[in-house]
Amino acid sequence: MLGKTSHLELSRRVITYYLMFSLAVVACLVIAIVVVSTSVWKSRAEDDCLAHLYQAANATRSELAVHGQSNLQLLADRFRSRWGLAYCALVSNRGHIVAHTTADQVGRQYRNPAGTVDHWGEAQRIRYDGDSGPVDEYQIAISRRGQPWGTLVMAVQDRGVWQSVFATARHAPLVFLCPILLLIIGAVALRRTMRPTSEIERQLRRLATLPRTAQHDLQLADVSTPVGTGWNRLLESLGNGQRQKSLDSRLDQAVEGYREKRSEQILHSLPDGVAVTDEKGTITFANRALVGLLGMGTSEENLCGKRMQQCLAIEAAGAAAKQLLDATLQGRAVVVEMGRYGDMSQGVLRVARTPQVHSAGDHNGGHVWCVRDITQQKLADQMRDQFVNAATHELRTPLANIKAYAETLTLSEVMEVEKQKQFCNTINAEATRLARFVDDLLHLSRMEVGSTSLNRQVTDVQRLLQETIEKVRPQMEQKKITLVAELPEKLPELVLDKDKIIVALVNLLGNAAKYTPEGGRVRLHVEATETAMQISVEDTGIGISVEELPKVLEKFFRSSDPRVHEQTGSGLGLSLTNEIIRLHGGKLSVHSELNKGSKFSVTLPIAPEGS
């Protein structure tokens, strides 16, 4: 509510606050009066009920002594009507209701209600919740001729707080009229007093909406008040100060502003993130590149005022990054590599920090920071290392076998012919494996650099798929794998390099056979639409884990699953297949679940007629 009054002029705001707080005070006083009145009324009502109880008990004892029980019902009805009771009853020592203001209760067994019990000598009160609200039941023992006879019961309906409020509400107009009139008179007087100040505040509001360079037109105020006189003097002083500004001063400011703006433009154009911090490590300047590197929105103002070590999450990074926090290195240049947000998986940043120095060469406590994203460089280095390791392994293994068998043949003077043939076959197989690896590697490299051309021809896809199936059928039959080919009766002809597509599909079906256990199932499904043809190979093999799935198309990648390493392979097949499909303008997608199987889908575009 208070926030909504900020757009009002000063006098109205003051009056609004005045009325709001005054009404709040009056409301608090009224509530306090109601609470106190209710408390006093309850105390008086309790005393009255106890007095009526003792009075009724004496009358009952007298009636019992003179007339016995014959007039007890009339006596109970008289008590109820005289004191406005909820009900009244007389209960014998045996618990039977002898008289009750509710006729159907006479003769029944009486039971005390469940509630809070209070005692005053012979009398007691039981407070419980009735059907119409809280009920106070008062009880006192009755004796006859010195012997206990029974109990007198009187109940009253507890009068709640709201009933007390409603009872006093009829007096509210008279109670509130005088304070409200005084509040209105005070508001009118306050408005007249605040009028000059309100006029000054209105001019200042209008001035705040104008641009800094705009000319202002402030008016003099009424001098009948000290506020108006002070305002007029302020305007006079302001006018003199503006006229006293020299041309040299304005020129210096213009030149300095141009230099600062030019420097900022140069820093903002740099591809590396640059920041300046003070002696406390708070950022005083940051260029746009740093904002993007740290993911702090789109404006450099989002960084200004924040601490550099928090923006870089230095405390969450490794030990090397904590050199930036070392107090002994504050006066020296430091260069570290750290993870973005303290996590290497989010990217790698190279952070260079240089101390600022005075013209005299002293360190002033501030620093200049340069931040560069080297994630791609690190990934390239990592891939290069992986490539070298994998290529070395794939080359060394067959060469070692060839050398070992060749040395054995050379050194052995006498060897069985069959064993010589076996050694020669092994050397030939390893040489073939080595040649195939080199060919795959060369094909893949040429495709990646774009130096391989496709021999595109109109191809009968139905026949191409049959040839592919025949190439892998022996491998399937050897492991007793069921190969299911789901081919449409008619498929469109495609313009593609038949030999390379067969290589890609044989790689997919061969991998499915290689990594599917004996007795498994491989499904080749083909479907065509007006714009594309999808060829999917689905198996019931060992599958690929979620963590390794994004890497499955990388060169030399092989799963860490021991079942994969039981099979021979170079890790180039899927990468080569992916490049072949990409050169045809298609896409290779993978869906897999560990221990359940994999599905590789090839999507090839169908060129429109006449293309």
Of 67, 46, 80, residue with least CA distance to 152 = 80
Go through the domains of the chain in sequence order and give each one's CATH number. Answer: 11-169 (3.30.450.20), 172-243 (no CATH), 265-373 (3.30.450.20), 379-449 (1.10.287.130), 457-605 (3.30.565.10)
pLDDT digits (tens, 9 = 90+) for 322-345: 777 777 777 788 888 887 766 666
In this prediction, residues 417-434 reach a mean pLDDT of 78
Instruction: For residue 34, give every residue at least 6 positions away whose Cβ sits within 8 Å of its Cβ, in sequence order, or none.
Output: 161, 164, 165, 168
Of 307, 300, 306, 308, residue with least CA distance to 349 = 308
Q: How far is it, in rounded angstroms, from Cα 597 to Cα 538?
A: 7
The reported pLDDT for the residue numbered 315 is: 66
Given strand 334-340, what is the order of strands in its sheet? Answer: 283-286, 273-277, 363-373, 343-357, 334-340
In this prediction, residues 164-172 reach a mean pLDDT of 58
Does residue 39 have a pLDDT over 70? no
- Cα dihedral 98/101/104/110 (nearest 10): -50
Instruction: Work out the angle at residue 41's Cα, subtended by the Cα atoms of residues 39 and 45, and round it to the nearest 5 degrees.
Output: 120
Q: How confident is the model at residue 202 (pLDDT cuts 50, 70, 90)?
A: confident
The dihedral region occupied by 585, where left means phi > 0, alpha psi between -120 and 50, and beta the remainder, is: left
Q: How far is it, in rounded angstroms, from Cα 587 to Cα 601?
A: 8
Tokens of 109: 């067994």
Does residue 471 have a pLDDT over 60? yes
Neighbour count for residue 303 (Cβ, 10 Å): 21
The reported pLDDT for the residue numbered 135 is: 87
Tokens of 7: 């757009």
More confident residue, 167 or 53: 53
Q: How far is it, in rounded angstroms, from Cα 12 to Cα 47?
A: 52
Instruction: Work out the angle at residue 265's Cα, subtended by the Cα atoms of residues 264 and 266, and round it to the nearest 5 degrees.
Output: 90
User: What secondary structure does DSSP assign to 222-271, as a single string?
Assistant: PTTSHHHHHHHHHHHHHHHHHHT--HHHHHHHHHHHHHHHHHHHHHHT-S
The reported pLDDT for the residue numbered 407 is: 80
pLDDT digits (tens, 9 = 90+) for 211-223: 766 666 666 666 5
Half-sphere exposure of 444 (CA within 13 A, CB side): 21
Give the Å distances, CA to CA, from 177 to 172, 181, 555.
8, 6, 91
Does residue 276 have a pLDDT over 70? yes
CA–chain centroid gap for 313, Å, is 19
Q: How far is it, in rounded angstroms, from Cα 538 to Cα 557?
A: 20
* Per-chain mean pLDDT for the chain: 78
The reported pLDDT for the residue numbered 9 is: 62
Alpha helices per DSSP H over 2-153: 10-67, 72-83
Q: How confident is the model at residue 3 (pLDDT cuts 50, 70, 90)?
A: very low
In this prediction, residues 539-545 reach a mean pLDDT of 91
pLDDT digits (tens, 9 = 90+) for 251-275: 666 666 667 777 777 877 888 888 8
In this prediction, residues 28-42 reach a mean pLDDT of 67
Q: What own/partner pairs with CB < 8 Å and gap ≥ 24 does 320-328 have?
A: 321/351, 324/351, 324/353
Neighbour count for residue 582 (Cβ, 10 Å): 13
The reported pLDDT for the residue numbered 219 is: 64
Of 258, 265, 271, residue with least CA distance to 285 = 265
Cβ(516)–Cβ(508) below 8 Å: no
More confident residue, 213 or 109: 109
Of 547, 556, 548, residue with least CA distance to 574 = 556
More confident residue, 81 or 249: 81
Does residue 200 have a pLDDT over 90? no
More confident residue, 474 or 591: 591
Q: How far is it, in rounded angstroms, from Cα 234 to Cα 493?
A: 90
pLDDT over 70, % of the chain:
73
pLDDT digits (tens, 9 = 90+) for 372-391: 888 878 776 776 666 666 66
